Amino acid sequence: MSDTTRFTLDGQEVEAREGETIWAVAKRQGNRIPHLCHKDAPGYRPDGNCRACMVAIEGERVLAASCIRTPTDGMVVTTTGAREVAARRMVMEMLVADQPA
> Which of the two residues, 101 and 30, has the higher pLDDT score?
30
Give the pLDDT confidence score for residue 43 in this predicted structure. 85
Return d(Cα 63, Cα 60) in angstroms, integer. 7
Question: pLDDT digit string (tens) for 16-72?
Answer: 999 999 999 999 999 999 988 877 788 888 888 889 999 999 999 999 999 999 999
Give the pLDDT confidence score for residue 35 in this predicted structure. 87
- β-bridge partners, 46: none
Residues 77 and 83: beta-carbon distance below 8 Å? no
- Burial status of residue 74 (CB atoms within 10 A of its CB: 0-12, 13-18, 19 or more): exposed
CATH number for the domain harbouring residue 36 = 3.10.20.740
State the total domains in the chain.
1
Give the pLDDT confidence score for residue 45 in this predicted structure. 84
Print the domain residue range for 43.
Answer: 4-97
Give the pLDDT confidence score for residue 75 in this predicted structure. 99
Give the pLDDT confidence score for residue 98 in this predicted structure. 80
